[in-house]
Amino acid sequence: MLNKLLNKLTYKPDTIFLYSAGISDVGKKRDHNEDSYLIDERLGLFVVADGMGGHEAGEVASKLAIETILNHLKKLDITYKQLSSKGNNNSTMVISSLLQDAVEDANNQTHCYNLAKGLPEGKGMGTTLTGFLISSLNTSGKKQIYSFNVGDSRTYSFRKGHLKQLSTDHSHYQLWLETGKEGPAPKHNIIYKAIGPWKRVVAEQHTFSIHTNELFLLCSDGLSDMLSNKDIQEILKTHSKKTLKEIAQVLVDAANEAGGKDNITVILVKP
């Protein structure tokens, strides 16, 4: 029964344009993979989700969240086209609202699953999310990415040899850093925001212009916990001549060589 549900939730991405690549690996310490990812080049939507909740539950949460967001945004594809043809000046506000609605929809689906199991607020299965939508809905016609994240999965930009984190970690460790490092440092993997455990969630959102030869990296913390930003930057610089699929594999292999303590998921996008 569970396998049928998972197969139903699994989305097979369209790779006709081949400007992206993704890999998900179980790692060296876990016996199953709770990560999920989405590549939809036609829609310009890319998402990584890191499930939580133990065997089966985390995998269900990450797949359910991604599938809900995809279905939500696919229904609104005609809305994007209409806005684009009208040159809407409020496109950023409109897309931000649509992305938040999609995240809320994913949260409601997962949270209701937890409630049906009789679990209290803050408990049960859940997932982090990081992703972005590529769109040219602005007066200049230039493509931008509309990024969103919940939790500590990350989105990076790599440009001119430099790596920059675009997302914000919703972790107690990040709060500790931002508030002056008072007291002992919390563990890196304790997050205060996720899809599913709580009734309401607000995604962190940012808009960025896309530059020539810019590469975007989305990953679960199975990569960022094993490799420093400097390590990731060096790998991207050293292997820049390889295909995106090959670079993604190099990143996963490096995380496994560093310990592979968690599932590792990587998406690379070069619009």
**Secondary structure (H, E, C), the chain:** CHHHHHHHHCCCCCCCCCCEEEEEECCCCCCCCCEEEEEECCCCEEEEEEEECCCCHHHHHHHHHHHHHHHHHHHCHHHHHHHHHHCCCCHHHHHHHHHHHHHHHHHHHHHHHHHHCCCCCCCCCEEEEEEEEEECCCCCCCCEEEEEEECCCEEEEEECCEEEECCCCCEHHHHHHHCCCCCCCCCCCCECCCECCCCCCCCEEEEEECCCCCEEEEECHHHHCCCCHHHHHHHHHHCCCCCHHHHHHHHHHHHHHCCCCCCEEEEEECC
How many domains are contained in the chain?
Answer: 1
The reported pLDDT for the residue numbered 117 is 83
User: pLDDT tens-digit profile of 45-79?
Assistant: 999 999 998 666 899 999 999 999 999 888 765 45
CATH number of the domain within which 171 lies: 3.60.40.10
The reported pLDDT for the residue numbered 179 is 85
Q: What is the pLDDT along the chain (271 residues), one digit of tens a residue?
A: 434 444 444 434 443 455 999 999 999 999 999 999 999 998 899 999 999 986 668 999 999 999 999 998 887 654 555 555 445 556 778 888 889 999 999 999 999 988 888 888 878 899 999 999 998 665 566 789 999 999 999 999 999 999 999 999 999 888 888 888 888 888 888 899 999 999 999 999 999 999 999 999 999 999 999 999 999 999 999 999 999 999 999 999 999 999 999 999 999 999 8
Q: Which domain, by its residues, includes 133?
A: 2-27+35-269
